[in-house]
Amino acid sequence: EAGVAQSPRYKIIEKRQSVAFWCNPISGHATLYWYQQILGQGPKLLIQFQNNGVVDDSQLPKDRFSAERLKGVDSTLKIQPAKLEDSAVYLCASSHWGERDNEQFFGPGTRLTVL
């Protein structure tokens, strides 16, 4: 079974530029998550999709971050414009919906550096 795929693996941009990250979840997983992991901290949920609908985006900075999951499969997370404090690893995860133990499978992440 293929895992969660993410690209790019690394990205360096100047502040105020835009950037986009892509995620392809495990086949058949209805739920997709984006997390932000700042150095020295645990991952923090940004947004959760169930199929192509948003379940939870309460911690997404909506003035600069946006995400979509067209057709309920792949997802894109965008930052526009980027700030220095957005430097972090962005993790994508997926899971089956409705399983009580809710095991999430994580991709390798995209490391973003904002200069």
Partner 1 sequence: AQSVTQLDSHVSVSEGTPVLLRCNYSSSYSPSLFWYVQHPNKGLQLLLKYTSAATLVKGINGFEAEFKKSETSFHLTKPSAHMSDAAEYFCVVSENAGGTSYGKLTFGQGTILTVHP
Binding site for partner 1 (CB under 8 A): 3-4, 31, 33, 40-45, 48, 55-56, 91, 93, 95, 97-109
DSSP category for residue 72: G
Question: Which is nearer to partner 1, 61 or 81 (by Cβ)?
Answer: 61
Q: Which amino acid is at 99?
A: E
Strands (E), the chain: 5-7, 10-13, 19-24, 31-37, 44-50, 53-56, 65-68, 75-79, 88-95, 105-106, 110-114
Question: Which is nearer to partner 1, 56 or 68 (by Cβ)?
Answer: 56
Q: How far is the CB of 2 from partner 1 (least distance, A)?
A: 13
Closest CA to 46 of 65, 24, 30: 65
Question: Which is nearer to partner 1, 71 or 100 (by Cβ)?
Answer: 100
Q: How far is the CB of 16 from partner 1 (least distance, A)?
A: 28
Q: How far is the CB of 81 from partner 1 (least distance, A)?
A: 27
